[in-house]
Amino acid sequence: MHLDDILKLDIKLLVAFVTIMEEGSVSRAAERLRVTQPALSKSLQRLRDIFKDSLFTRQAYGLSPTARASELHDMIQPILSSLSDLMSPNTLDLKNLSRRFKLRVDEGDLENFIEPLLASLQYQAPGIKLSITSWGDSQLDEMVSGNVDLGIMRIDETPSNIRSKLIGYMEACIVLSEAHPLFHQDEVTVSELLSNKVVTHHLRSNRNTSFIKTEQKLKQRGYNIEPDMETDSLMVAMQAVKRGMALVTSRSIGDLFLQMTCEKMHFYPVKILPIPKEVVELDEYNCRHPIHIFWHERFNNDLAHRWLREQILYFMRESPWMHPPA
């Protein structure tokens, strides 16, 4: 059968044929399909013309299929079954799911969900594999190109084909060791902070970050807020703090820092201080900045992808460092 012949068929004709085969009667088949008998007889005639066979002969007990009809029935049944499967809702079998997801998440945000997520994967979806790295200079370009499945970042402006959802708000903090001149204070001013060396951890500058407006306001007031060191490495940040630098980072990393240094021998005492009041007053978010989860439009209805991002969203919102959306 050529393409022109295939185009003469439609699903309704195939359904009509199978129903007549099963009922052995045009009138009973019409009743079952909720169409009139003349309409179904017309469909049967079209089928006879297409397949160039009478398909059914009339017997005293009803219609009897020809050899060609029986042959067609065996071929058409799987087609209709496949179409039925095509229209059935997708199902997700987590236990047997084998797939690798690539995530871009900075360490401060990763701390909010990685422990419960790994536990969830172990018990619910042991076949899922993860590739987790920090954001590079390309930012969302990797997501647009399809090289990244999910991303978490402190920006809210994205291309039209990138979807996002607000997770919550994360505050920053200052980590000092006893080696820092301001260690014995309970709070510091911007001037005091910047008069000594500063290191930032995963607080890179980006024109889309929610802190950019505050940064510009501080510059207008004469503050040079360029850090002496920027790093994505927690080990580097630890050594910088040990040498007397003030670490500006997320509160989740601040608490992790305290925990790690308490367990590390021969490390100076460490404490956490709040962000200077001048910065909080200038900041539109009061230094609690929005964190979004991002994914490409192509993955929006992907069941496995949706399950993973909903897991991350739930665990992040449950973390002690995340302030929920209003």
Q: What is the rounded end-to-end Cα distance, in angstroms, of the chain?
A: 62
Of 173, 179, 181, 174, give the one whose Cα is nearest residue 266: 179
Question: What pLDDT does 317 receive?
Answer: 94
Lookup: tokens for 220 = 């207008």
Q: What pLDDT score does 151 carry?
A: 92
The residues, ordered by sequence, that sit 6+ positions from 56 with a Cβ below 8 Å of its Cβ are 20, 44, 63, 64, 65, 66, 69
- β-partners of residue 100 are 129
User: According to the model, what pLDDT value does residue 269 have?
Assistant: 85
**Quick one: angle between helices 251-263 and 234-242, nearest 10?**
70
pLDDT digits (tens, 9 = 90+) for 72-93: 888 888 888 777 766 656 778 8
Determine contact, residues 69/21, Cβ cutoff 8 Å: yes
Question: Given a cut of 90, is residue 117 above it in pLDDT?
Answer: yes
Please state, in angstroms and as integers, the Cα–Cα distance from residue 293 to each residue in 23, 151, 316, following that order: 55, 6, 10
If pLDDT is split at 50, 70 and 90, which confidence band does 266 have?
low
Average pLDDT, the chain: 86
pLDDT band at 289 (very low <50, low <70, confident <90, very high): confident
What is the SS3 assignment for 206-241? Answer: CCCECCHHHHHHHHHCCCCCCCCEEECCHHHHHHHH
Query: pLDDT per residue over 208-250, tens digit each?
Result: 566 777 888 888 888 888 889 988 888 898 889 989 999 998 8
Which pair of tokens denotes residue 206?
């980006």
Q: What is the pLDDT of residues 31-70, one digit of tens each?
A: 988 899 999 999 889 889 888 999 988 887 778 889 998 8
Report the range out of 159-163, 191-195, 205-209 with the highest average pLDDT: 191-195
What is the mean predicted confidence (pLDDT) over 99-113?
A: 90
**Has residue 293 got a pLDDT over 90?**
yes
Domains in the chain: ranges and CATH: 3-87 (1.10.10.10), 99-318 (3.40.190.290)
